[in-house]
Structure 1
Amino acid sequence: MDLIPTPGQVVSAVGNLAHQLVHGGVADLRPMPRTVLEEGPHREVHHYRPSASAPQQGDPVLLVAPLAAPALCYDLRRGCSLVEHLVEQGRPTYLVEYGAVAVRDPDVGIGPWVDDVVPRAIEAASEHAGGRPVHVVGWSLGGILGLLTAADRPDLPIASVSALGSPTDVSLVPLMAPPQPPLGLTEGGGLIPRTYRAVSAVPVPLVPWVLQLSSVQRLVTRPLAFAAHLDDADLLAQLEAVDRFTDAMTAYPGRSFGQVYHRFLPGNALVDGAMALGSREISLSAITAPVLVLAGATDTLAPVAAVRAVLPHLSGSREPRFEIVPGGHLGLLTGRAARTGTWPVLDDWFGSCP
């Protein structure tokens, strides 16, 4: 809004403020309709209802959520929803989400997601779509889970893997989290390990705060942004939707916290393109499917260099591709610029994969 607002800006601002006061917001937060296709431990596979105006076409897409982040990342709000975009394109669309990893599950690490949750979701989506291969799309840690699964299970019906804002060399991430107790402290059956597993988690209030550092919704500037753009209903809707998303973030309790935090952050587990999981080593060079890697131009949680670092490890992929798209960590996936940045790149990618 201009320093001296125009009459049109004043009218828009008053209308938006009235809508905010009467209806509690301006964003259309209705979720895209979906049904549960399959359930299992830490797994719900959903199928989004096809659009009546767009015939189903092409291979299905499976959206893989990251741990601790809600599936809202893919369906933020109407008009800024990757799910809505895919459905309107006629693309069969599926989602795997996990629910919260409770403190009562202290020994659940990342292994079950690579061993069972993501592979079974891929198989379920393929079966429901008539046996077609699946485009696996993951944001942030979801992208890493997709890459590890494709490397570990090349027999799965995977058409391609897309990793969006997924850093594999965290030494290139300036916003490294502060040091924590060694990973060994979470292992074993003694009093100290059991106590640590019971209480250790990234506190929920800190998760949205960290995300906000790289998003339009910065803690200090948000009230100013709201006031300065009171005439911009689309921006207000985006702020409101991101508010809801960050409020829904969950913590990483128990062993999942220890593995995710210590191995992927200070441990930099994938810097060499491989990591041990259980008794085996998973190497990203074993991926044979085409891989798309996207980095956000202004992403401070997963900077371009940290995301691009995976490319030398994709030697087995038939068609690795890397692109920089507009947006920060969440913005590259579902920001307003994603409509003309990330989403067309994904459309082209899905259409070009053999």
Structure 2
Amino acid sequence: MTAEPQPEDEPRGALPTLAGLAGVPAHTAARAWGNVRDWATHGHLADTTRMPRLPVHHGDGYTVHRYEPTAPVDPDLAPLLLVPPLGAPDFAFDLRRGASLVEDLLATGREIFIVTYDASGRAAGRRGLELWVDEIVPAALYAIADRHGDSPVHLAGWSLGGLFTLLAAASHISGAPIRSVTAFASPVDVSAVPLVAPFRSVAEYTGGRVFSAAYRTLGSFPATAVKWAFQLTSVERYLTKPVTLATHLDDRELLEQIEAVDLLMANMTAYPGRAFGQIYHHVVRSNDLAEDRLRLAGRPVRLADVDVPVLLVAGADDVIAPVAAVERATALLTSCPDLRFVVRPGGHLGVLAGRRARENSWHDLQEFMRAHDDA
């Protein structure tokens, strides 16, 4: 790895001083001074105002929102439901103005929806993965389809949200109206994730008792721990961040991206206890997804049963969901009528919301959906 800045996954940090600007070109120094002046005046550089949205469906522990159109709605474009992961805020899809997948999609005339979860409350810790796979995602799909003449809906998820979309398509218990599935940075084979190796070793040695006792005692996997896990994936960038900032004060877009990612990191939420336990035992410890032997609510949920088009997007620099961990799904999705796998620039967040996403993964998503809008 090098110290070259990768703004998609930058850790938190304050804007540095202007030390070291002496000797740089006048236009560069002027941009840098302007950026620092704006930051000092307004307290921020990035416009993180969220795209307006309204709730259209409420359920037990979840809400479906419709983003307000910014262009005339094109009836030939099927609606899209976005599925965020547990732990990370849903505005990963709407990171900042100029770097928002939601904003970009709305400009095409497509209707965009998102399902959000209630991570608090006494019942949250008892919610298992089957709730998202069999109830929340299907209910959101039906609510949207009902607004569009019962027409099937595109699905797109990031990280664990991507796995929710794949598993919802695999679980035919609900008969949910799915047109296509796109999974961004969704690791199917955790044996290909270096960061998970120590936890698997401890689990094997202890029979899983250490982590089981921890999450049962806490009732969840704390938000602080979720944040630390993300930061551990970019330790070098965290250590070199002051240098990166000091040498790129003239790069407004980079500074805005870092600021927006800081905000996302500050809003991590806890994983519900039961869901975290299932992820730990079935995904981390046993790697059931990679062997297509996952069982939820006592029944098998197999990727081999997914019979809708699927697009898998991996980040070239992703250490949470490395390319091999995502690519493993291509050997399991044997019933897909159209299966696409692409590797695009960026880390775990960068492949979804990075500065290079528009011409890469966002383009892939739009091209994929257009290919199946009339299915």
Structure 1 position 68, deviation (Å): 1.1
Deviations 1:237-281 (A, max 9, x none): 000000000111112242222112332212212011231011211
Q: Secondary structure at the match of 1:160?
A: strand
The percent of aligned pairs where both chains have the same amino acid is: 41
Deviations 1:59-104 (A, max 9, x none): 0110001111110110100111100011011111000111215465
Structure 1: distance between partners of 2:39 and 2:364: 34
Q: Is the Cα–Cα contact under 8 Å of residues 171 and 306 in structure 1 kept in the other structure?
A: yes
Structure 2: distance between partners of 1:72 and 1:131: 28
Structure 2: stretches of 5+ with no match in the other structure: 1-19
| 1:206 equivalenced with 2:240 (yes/no) | no
Aligned to 2:189, which of 158, 165, 169? 169
Q: Is the Cα–Cα contact under 8 Å of residues 51 and 94 in structure 2 kept in the other structure?
A: yes
Q: Is the Cα–Cα contact under 8 Å of residues 103 and 198 in structure 1 kept in the other structure?
A: no
| 1:128 equivalenced with 2:141 (yes/no) | no
Aligned to 2:243, which of 200, 208, 224? 224
TM-score, reference length from structure 1: 0.91
Aligned to 1:329, which of 317, 340, 348? 348
- RMSD across aligned positions (CA): 2.3
Structure 1 position 299, deviation (Å): 0.7
Structure 2: distance between partners of 1:53 and 1:107: 42
Aligned to 1:61, which of 80, 89, 107? 80
Structure 1: distance between partners of 2:332 and 2:88: 26
Structure 1 position 123, deviation (Å): 1.0
Structure 2: distance between partners of 1:160 and 1:217: 37
| Number of aligned positions between the proteins | 348
| 1:296 equivalenced with 2:315 (yes/no) | yes
Q: Is the Cα–Cα contact under 8 Å of residues 55 and 64 in structure 2 kept in the other structure?
A: yes
| 1:239 equivalenced with 2:239 (yes/no) | no
Structure 2: distance between partners of 1:74 and 1:340: 16
Q: Is the Cα–Cα contact under 8 Å of residues 171 and 268 in structure 1 kept in the other structure?
A: yes
Structure 1: stretches of 5+ with no match in the other structure: 188-192
Alpha-carbon distance change, 97 to 216 in structure 1, aligned in 2, over 3 angstroms: farther
Q: Is the Cα–Cα contact under 8 Å of residues 214 and 329 in structure 1 kept in the other structure?
A: no
Deviations 1:184-226 (A, max 9, x none): 7888xxxxx6x85241543323322332344699321222222
By relative contact order (CA 8 Å, sep 6+), the higher-ranking structure is 2
Q: Secondary structure at the match of 1:96?
A: strand
Q: Is the Cα–Cα contact under 8 Å of residues 87 and 223 in structure 2 kept in the other structure?
A: no
Q: Is the Cα–Cα contact under 8 Å of residues 103 and 253 in structure 1 kept in the other structure?
A: no
Alpha-carbon distance change, 196 to 342 in structure 1, aligned in 2, over 3 angstroms: closer
| 1:93 equivalenced with 2:112 (yes/no) | yes
| 1:270 equivalenced with 2:289 (yes/no) | yes
